[in-house]
């Protein structure tokens, strides 16, 4: 192995590709540097046809590449230009194809607005440290608010959208507009006064405070400390509905619920109303089902009672007894027929056994057997043999002579034929 290769691997690690090393750098930067605010001067501004905006932030000694993607660029109210002093909020990333780190910008404010943003963050941290925004202090919204108070400008478009949505979604309740300035000097004080009025009236189940969108200066009244504290101390649950979806104010953190817009607050309130209406409808349907089931059960019980009444009436009792008599008669006739048939079968079996044990039959059997024996005896008797042409020879003493050599000359013999005997003498 060459010396330079030894130096390259003396730490025990493997050789990495450029892409692998750059990816490690990207992970380290993204994991080690949280998103934050950066101040500088815009330079090298380039707006692409895709909608992405590329530029650099610089100061007297350094420069930082930045990119503002199309979706984020469309939401900015600041018109970027070279030489503009701005504050940008974003997170660091590495463009691996060039091995270049850059800031992915999410929000841009000019330097003056940047000071407001700093004040916003400082006040937010201080109030949060006091526990003013603690989650355990948040209250649930009422399921069905009968009376809702809306602290806003009575001439703004937000209140018209709010009312239109409630009407379109058929919300049933009382809406009270508590008029107040929502922008400029004295706006926060007027809204605080309306919160005090709402507490003194004691008629509200829910409060909404808000207005339509605008710049950070337009919405600054909702970041003033007295109003934020008043919202957090509201006697009833309160919804903060300030600006657009991307706009956040300190009232949003102090309120029990944040709605992205006043229209979203109206939808939230009416959605709860619609949920209650649906529950009522479902409960009504369930009640009808229960009533129908109870009615059907009562009808069945009535039918059962009628049936029992018919069964217990004298006519029904007589009918039942008649049926019982008929059934018993049928069962008696069946039992008699069965018993008679059984006795007949027993009699037939007894006759068969008597016939089998009768002496006459036995005499017949013995006669037949005796006749058979007689026939067998007859078939082997000497007379039967003689009838077939044979003859029986006897000596004078009457003994049968079976062999010729056993006779002597002149010996008298008697020859017996089937029809008689002949005396003879041997020569």
Over residues 208-258, the pLDDT tens digits come to 999 988 777 788 899 999 999 999 999 999 999 997 777 789 999 999 999
Q: Extract the runs of DSSP E, i.e. beta strands, from 129-220.
A: 147-152, 174-179, 206-211
- pLDDT at residue 113 above 60? no
What are the CA-CA distances from residue 345 to residues 95, 135, 286, 353 (Å)? 114, 100, 71, 12
Express each pLDDT in 360-419 by its tens digit: 777 788 888 888 888 888 777 777 766 776 777 888 787 887 777 778 888 888 887 777
Is residue 201 within a helix (H) or strand (E), and if so which, with residue range?
A: helix 187-201
Catalogue all structural domains in the chain, each as residue range(s) with its CATH number: 3-122 (2.40.50.140), 146-276 (3.40.50.2300), 382-425 (no CATH)
For 271, residues 6+ apart whose C-beta sits below 8 A from its C-beta are 169
For 86, residues 6+ apart whose C-beta sits below 8 A from its C-beta are 39, 40, 41, 42, 57, 78, 80, 108, 109, 110, 111, 114
Query: What's the token pair of residue 277?
Result: 């209406």
Nearest-angstrom CA–CA distance, 87 and 330: 111
Query: What's the token pair of residue 359?
Result: 């002496």
Q: What is the length of the chain?
A: 427
For 392, residues 6+ apart whose C-beta sits below 8 A from its C-beta are 382, 385, 386, 400, 415, 416
The reported pLDDT for the residue numbered 114 is: 56
How many helices and strands in the chain, by DSSP H and E?
A: 12, 13
Report which of 22, 30, 27, 28 is spatially closest to residue 90, judged by C-alpha positions.
30
Q: Compute the radius of gyration of the chain from its Cα atoms.
A: 64
Nearest-angstrom CA–CA distance, 125 and 114: 17
The chain-wide mean pLDDT, for the chain, equals 85
Query: What's the token pair of residue 219?
Result: 């919405």
The residue among 311 and 87 whose pLDDT is bigger is 87
Nearest-angstrom CA–CA distance, 210 and 262: 6
- DSSP type of residue 222: G
Nearest-angstrom CA–CA distance, 356 and 350: 10
Express each pLDDT in 407-426 by its tens digit: 888 888 888 777 788 888 87
Cα Dmax for the chain: 193
Nearest-angstrom CA–CA distance, 274 and 69: 39
| 250: phi then psi, degrees, rounded to nearest 5 | -70, -25
Torsion (CA) 135, 139, 141, 144 in degrees, nearest 10: 160
Is residue 95 within a helix (H) or strand (E), and if so which, with residue range?
A: strand 85-95
Express each pLDDT in 43-94 by its tens digit: 889 999 999 999 999 887 899 999 999 999 999 888 898 878 888 999 999 9
């Amino acid at each position: 192995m060459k010396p330079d290769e030894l130096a390259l691997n003396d730490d025990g690690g493997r050789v990495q590709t450029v892409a692998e090393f750059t990816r490690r750098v990207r992970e380290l930067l993204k994991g080690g540097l949280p998103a934050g605010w950066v101040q500088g001067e815009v330079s090298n501004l380039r707006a692409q046809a895709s909608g992405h905006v590329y530029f650099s932030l610089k100061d007297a000694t350094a420069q930082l590449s930045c990119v503002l993607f199309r979706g984020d660029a469309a939401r900015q109210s600041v018109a970027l230009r070279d030489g503009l002093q701005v504050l940008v909020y974003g997170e660091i990333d590495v463009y691996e194809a060039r091995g270049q780190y850059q800031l992915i910008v999410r929000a841009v404010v000019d330097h003056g607005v940047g000071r407001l943003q700093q004040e916003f963050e400082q006040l937010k941290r201080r109030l949060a440290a006091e526990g003013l925004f603690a989650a355990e202090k948040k209250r649930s919204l009422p399921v069905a608010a009968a009376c809702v108070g809306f602290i806003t400008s009575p001439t703004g478009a937000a209140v018209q959208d709010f009312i239109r949505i409630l009407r379109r979604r058929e919300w049933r309740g009382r809406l009270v507009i508590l008029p107040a300035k929502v922008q400029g000097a004295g706006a926060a004080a007027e809204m605080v006064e309306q919160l005090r009025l709402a507490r003194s009236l004691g008629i509200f189940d829910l409060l909404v405070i808000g207005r339509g969108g605008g710049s950070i200066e337009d919405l600054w009244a909702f970041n003033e400390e007295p109003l934020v504290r008043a919202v957090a101390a509201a006697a009833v649950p309160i919804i903060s509905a300030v600006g657009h979806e991307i706009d956040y104010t300190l009232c949003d953190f102090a309120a029990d619920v944040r709605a992205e817009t006043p229209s979203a607050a109206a939808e939230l309130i009416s959605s709860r109303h619609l949920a209650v209406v649906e529950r009522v409808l479902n409960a009504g349907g369930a009640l009808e089902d229960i009533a129908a089931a109870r009615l059907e059960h009562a009808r069945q019980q009535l039918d059962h009672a009628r049936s029992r009444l018919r069964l217990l009436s004298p006519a029904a009792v007589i009918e039942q007894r008649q049926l019982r008599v008929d059934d018993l008669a049928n069962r008696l006739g069946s039992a008699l027929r069965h018993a008679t048939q059984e006795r007949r079968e027993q009699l037939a079996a007894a006759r068969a056994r008597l016939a089998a044990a009768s002496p006459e039959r036995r005499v017949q059997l013995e006669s037949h057997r005796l006749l058979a024996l007689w026939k067998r005896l007859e078939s082997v008797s000497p007379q039967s043999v003689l009838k077939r042409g044979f003859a029986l020879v006897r000596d004078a003493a009457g003994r049968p002579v079976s062999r010729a050599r056993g006779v002597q000359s002149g010996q008298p013999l008697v020859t017996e034929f089937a029809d008689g005997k002949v005396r003879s003498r041997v020569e």
